[in-house]
Amino acid sequence: MLIEVMDLTLLVGIMLALGAAVMTAYAGFGGALVMVPLFTFLVGPVQAVAIMTICSVVALLHVLPSLVRTVRWSEVVPLFFGILLAASVGSQFLVAADPASIRLGMGIFILVSATVLMLDFKYSGPRGTLPSLGVGALTGGIMGGFGVPAGPVMVVYYLAANESAAVQRANIMLSVWLLLSVMLINLLARDAIETVTFLRAIFIAPASVLGVLLGQYLFRRAPVSWFKRCAHWLLIGIGASLLVTTVT
């Protein structure tokens, strides 16, 4: 079984995981949103989500202590409960649905997300426990139902808060980690992760850890603005590719 995973898919997966982890640690978001659809082309939606969640959860473990000390818990906690409820319900659809439907949903959401980010949409609505719970439910529902990390939903919400950039970034990164952890637990509980996926993740996870370290290094030494523009166009290309391959 171990020999079977030593193939081109594994090599491409390692490179994708490295780049996605750099993106997450550098820009604070987007890595998982890139990683899942690209892995979908390789191994299908459910196993793509499984690999991404395993690698991302492991890769971000070492930054959790600094995030925990920085986040605004009054917003993160209710948002997490919204994620927990919606992702747990939605994951049943992800496991049971036709892969083509999942790819279509991924493509649509990624295109919408890229457009929202490029237009620099600002949230101006209420804040507090109920809005945070609602944002978490929307995020978890999208992740659970279609397997695509709905990080941009949280990004728009958190960036509207009157907080320092450090707190905003910590809120986003910790919430993303919690979202992926909840999704991983749900996939495990539903016995949806194949053995070969676990084996691939063993080799891919170190690339994710290396990518996070590299992304943190770049964040301390280079501006993020140009990188975000590139990331937005990358998301548009990925979303369009998913739609084209689904309808043709």
Q: Give the separation between CA 13 and CA 131, rounded to whole angstroms.
A: 37
Which of 12-21, 190-199, 209-218 tops mean pLDDT? 190-199
**Of 122, 148, 123, which is closest to residue 134 (Cα–Cα)?**
123
pLDDT of 2 strictly over 60: no
Copy the structure tokens of residue 43.
């191994």
The band of 22, judged by pLDDT with boundaries at 50, 70 and 90, is: confident
Q: What's the whole-model pTM score? A: 0.82
- SS3 string of the chain? CCHHHCCHHHHHHHHHHHHHHHHHHHHCCCHHHHHHHHHHHHHCHHHHHHHHHHHHHHHCHHHHHHHHHHCCHHHHHHHHHHHHHHHHHHHHHHHHCCHHHHHHHHHHHHHHHHHHHHCCCCCCCCCCHHHHHHHHHHHHHHHHHHCCCCHHHHHHHHHCCCCCHHHHHHHHHHHHHHHHHHHHHHHHHCCCCCHHHHHHHHHHHHHHHHHHHHHHHHHHHCCCHHHHHHHHHHHHHHHHHHHHHHHC
Q: Which of 73-77, 148-152, 160-164, 191-195 has the lowest mean pLDDT?
A: 148-152
pLDDT for 129 equals: 92
pLDDT for 23 equals: 76
Residue type, 218: L
pLDDT for 5 equals: 67
pLDDT of 137 strictly over 70: yes
The residue ranking higher by pLDDT, 226 or 129, is: 129
